[in-house]
A and B are shown apart, each in its own frame.
Chain A
Amino acid sequence: MRKWKTDWGLQGRMFFTMFLLAAVYLFFLVILSSQGAGMNVMLLFIGGFMFLQYFMSDKLVLWSMGAKIVSESEEPKLHETINRLCALADLSKPKVAVVQSSVPNAFATGRSPRKAVVAVTTGIMHTLNQNELEAVLAHELSHVKNRDVMVMTIASFLSTIAFFLVRYLMFFGGGGRDRNSGGIMAVWFVSILVWIISLMLIRTLSRYREFSADRGAALITGTPSHLASALMKISGIMPRIPKDDLRKVEGMNAFFIIPAISGSSFGSSLMNLFSTHPSVEKRIAALENLEKELER
């Protein structure tokens, strides 16, 4: 009997990260209200920002990437591959888009499975064979299924609050108003701290969700090795891509299958804390473990 064990370690770490995020924000809100900051204006501003981020992000992403929605007759094979994966996983079919770019990559966007768009670059379609492309598409479909856009939007919304507070206090905190400047400095310091910690936690959460999507892809396709070989192919090619294309894709790292920018010049352990994706080696190792599970 084929049985997939629930990865409790991964579940636990993910839950813990979410919990820490919430705890950090609660702490932050407590500090904030005790200082009596002008909440109304800020909340309105932040609320508007989140609204935009949540409801417009898919369009913004597609627009900034130059992704074009393709019909079934334009890309029959791509559509059919996705059709079958959706039928296997019982998902509603997302829209399919293609980006004219030689950078081999793929991403998913959209706030709900119904609004989702899965996009691939022409580069990835040329680089990967059918099995590998299918595995990559299954990875993106898992992002859609796991509602990663929603989860990450909410998580980064919280960090947005902190970020805007930092800016707000920088403007008004030093203005020599009739306030206890030591208290303002404390709030300012705390909000910077909160921002750094929350960024780290969000990135951690993002990495866990990548592992989850890899796992989901392996589950749908039944062949973890295809995703592993796709990852190896893509990552091997990444450093050789011209800089121009890399700059174009810089803003979109969170939902890419492999981030296009790698900051190898920084200390690697520090970078690991802040990177949105786990290293390819770790992902391949996780996929190999799944492979062993299948044989059991």
Chain B
Amino acid sequence: MGFLDALLGKSKLPKAKTERLFAISTASITLEVNLGLKPQGSAGICFKPMESSRYAAARLEIEELLSYSCKETGTDYKVQKDEFNYLWVILKDPDFEDLVTNIHLVTQTLIEHGFSEQLLCAIYRFEGESKVYWIYNYKQGAYYPFIPKGDHNRDNNLEFRLRSVMDSELPIEKNVEKWYPLWGIPI
């Protein structure tokens, strides 16, 4: 099917997979107990804005939902654009569960409005000896670790160690070629 589509030049973007987004919630306990990685109370979603009035409406609704839901959970949020013109929804809350809930809320709202294809990733920040990001790739439906070190370098050793330790608890992207870095993550 996919091959035939390709031959005929039909393009289809994969839809976002969200089933395993919640897995970080239990994994965070293991990360803290076994590896000394504490959640840093911040998380974010990165997605590609579209050129459409429906998109503008969706964005308004997300901000409304967020301001309502964040008041309830005591979460700070902001929306900002990066240098690649992708939008970030950045959430700050010392309670990790609230972060997971709000990330899920934003994800669902975007999907309900038909922007499933535009979702790039969700990111949770942890910290031990170094800054550790767990990135959820919506298209793969899996997490991968990203540990920036200095200028455009990453700590691959620690990333591989995290994979071997967390493999049983967290759905981790098997193909390391898809462990795309995101430099200058604003969270």
Task: Specify which of B52, B175, B182 lies most central, judged by the most chain A CB atoms within 10 Å of its CB.
Answer: B52
Residue contact B11 to A216, C-beta cutoff 8 Å: yes
Q: Which residues of A contact B137 (CB under 8 A)?
A: 87
Contact with A along B1-32 (1 / 0, CB 8 A): 00000111111111000000000000000000
B177 at the interface (CB under 8 A from A): yes
Rounded to whole Å, the gap between the CB of B86 and the closest CB of chain A is 7
Residue contact B177 to A222, C-beta cutoff 8 Å: no
B50 at the interface (CB under 8 A from A): yes
Task: Specify which of B11, B85, B121 lies most central, judged by the most chain A CB atoms within 10 Å of its CB.
Answer: B11
Residue contact B9 to A212, C-beta cutoff 8 Å: yes
Which residues of B from 152 to 187 have beta carbons under 8 Å from A? 152, 175, 177-178, 180-183
Contact with B along A231-258 (1 / 0, CB 8 A): 0000000000000000000000000000
Complexed CA–CA distance, A80 and B115 (Å): 22
What are 30 A-B pairs with beta-carbon distances under 8 A?
A: A3-B114, A4-B12, A6-B10, A14-B8, A72-B152, A84-B48, A86-B180, A87-B120, A87-B139, A89-B13, A89-B139, A90-B140, A92-B175, A93-B180, A134-B85, A146-B6, A147-B6, A212-B8, A212-B9, A212-B11, A215-B11, A221-B48, A222-B51, A222-B52, A222-B55, A225-B51, A291-B51, A294-B51, A295-B53, A295-B54
Q: Which residues of A contact B113 (CB under 8 A)?
A: 1-2
Rounded to whole Å, the gap between the CB of B111 and the closest CB of chain A is 10
Residue contact A220 to B13, C-beta cutoff 8 Å: yes
Q: Which residue of A lies closest to B11 (CB)?
A: A216
B118 at the interface (CB under 8 A from A): yes
Q: Which residues of B contact A89 (CB under 8 A)?
A: 13-14, 139
Q: Which residues of A contact B11 (CB under 8 A)?
A: 142, 145-146, 212, 215-216, 219-220
Given A83-B181, A146-B6, A212-B11 in contact, is the A90-B114 Cβ separation under 8 Å?
Answer: no
Given A11-B10, A223-B51 in contact, is the A130-B84 Cβ separation under 8 Å?
Answer: yes
B63 at the interface (CB under 8 A from A): no
Residue contact A1 to B114, C-beta cutoff 8 Å: yes
Q: Which residue of A lies closest to B49 (CB)?
A: A222
B83 at the interface (CB under 8 A from A): yes
A96 at the interface (CB under 8 A from B): no
A88 at the interface (CB under 8 A from B): yes
B97 at the interface (CB under 8 A from A): no
Q: Which residues of B contact A212 (CB under 8 A)?
A: 8-11
Complexed CA–CA distance, A30 and B54 (Å): 56
Across the A-B interface, give the 4 residue pairs with the lowest CB-CB distance, nearest first.
A212-B9, A216-B11, A222-B50, A2-B114
